[in-house]
Amino acid sequence: MAPTQQPQKTTVTKPPRQRAHILRWAAMLFLALIVLVGIAVLIIWLVIKPKRLVFSVEDGSVYNFNISNDNHLNASFNFVVRSYNPNSRVSIYYDSIESRVDYDDQSLAFSVVDSFFQPHWNVTRLQVKLEAQSTALLGSVSKDIKLEKSSGEMELDLWLKAKIRFKVGAWKSSHRTLKVSCSPVVVHFSRPKAFNRALCDVEL
């Protein structure tokens, strides 16, 4: 008895032109979706009219200050930074904050500030504490710092760098980098002297 032959399966392939036509429509649909999302974000941004964030240094001090004979610095720097969110509809997540204090172009100390959430129309005061532990100084920097210390005060630059997200209602933005520079910040070695508030530049 002869074996029965199985019917051959036939595969239907779409012509190249049809596949290209489908791919072209898929690409156009994807592009249109991106444009619509971008327009929606732009409309939200224009409606809420975000205002620039305001930062200032309200107080600053230096303790346990010492420069060794081989030009290594040990010191404790304490600052109170005022952060003001003037927006009526925008809240802000500060997910990470780095701080740095410089003298001229040399970094003296680094630190990390606690993350926080800032509602709209809110003022938050940040305690920024930095420790210089055997920080090697350039010879010219060491000399200039010693001269300023003898005068009773020292000019510093305070820097903050934060990863933030905006929140409007239920919508949250992706991360953006906020840079804050406060200069000059004059700290006194004698605490009875009043501290002069220092305004900061904000870059977003």
**Model confidence over 92-150: pLDDT tens digits?**
999 999 999 999 989 999 999 999 999 999 999 999 999 999 999 988 999 999 999 98
Question: How far apart are the C-alpha atoms of 12 and 161, rounded to whole Å?
Answer: 59
Stretch among 12-21, 70-79, 123-132, 177-186 having the lowest mean pLDDT: 12-21
Question: How far apart are the C-alpha atoms of 149 and 14, rounded to whole Å?
Answer: 82
Query: CB neighbours of 27 closer than 8 A, spacing ≥ 6?
Result: none
Residue 29 has what pLDDT?
Answer: 86
Q: How confident is the model at residue 194 (pLDDT cuts 50, 70, 90)?
A: confident
Question: How far apart are the C-alpha atoms of 152 and 172, rounded to whole Å?
Answer: 47
Q: Is beta strand 122-136 parallel, antiparallel or unpaired with respect to 116-118?
A: unpaired
CB atoms within 10 A of CB 111: 15
Stretch among 12-21, 31-40, 132-141 having the lowest mean pLDDT: 12-21
Q: How confident is the model at residue 13 (pLDDT cuts 50, 70, 90)?
A: low
CA-angle at 133, arms to 129 and 136, nearest 5°: 125
Report the Cα–Cα distance between both ends of the chain, in Å, rounded.
Answer: 85
Residue 1 has what pLDDT?
Answer: 53
Stretch among 34-43, 63-72, 126-135, 183-192 having the lowest mean pLDDT: 34-43
Residue 44 has what pLDDT?
Answer: 65
Question: How far apart are the C-alpha atoms of 110 and 102, rounded to whole Å?
Answer: 9
Q: SS3 for 30?
A: helix
What fold, for 54-203? Immunoglobulin-like (2.60.40)
Residue 48 has what pLDDT?
Answer: 61
Query: CB neighbours of 126 closer than 8 A, spacing ≥ 6?
Result: 80, 81, 82, 83, 97, 113, 116
Question: How far apart are the C-alpha atoms of 49 and 88, rounded to whole Å?
Answer: 9
Asked if pLDDT for residue 14 goes beyond 60, the answer is no
- Give the ranges where the chain is alpha helix by DSSP (H): 16-48, 139-151
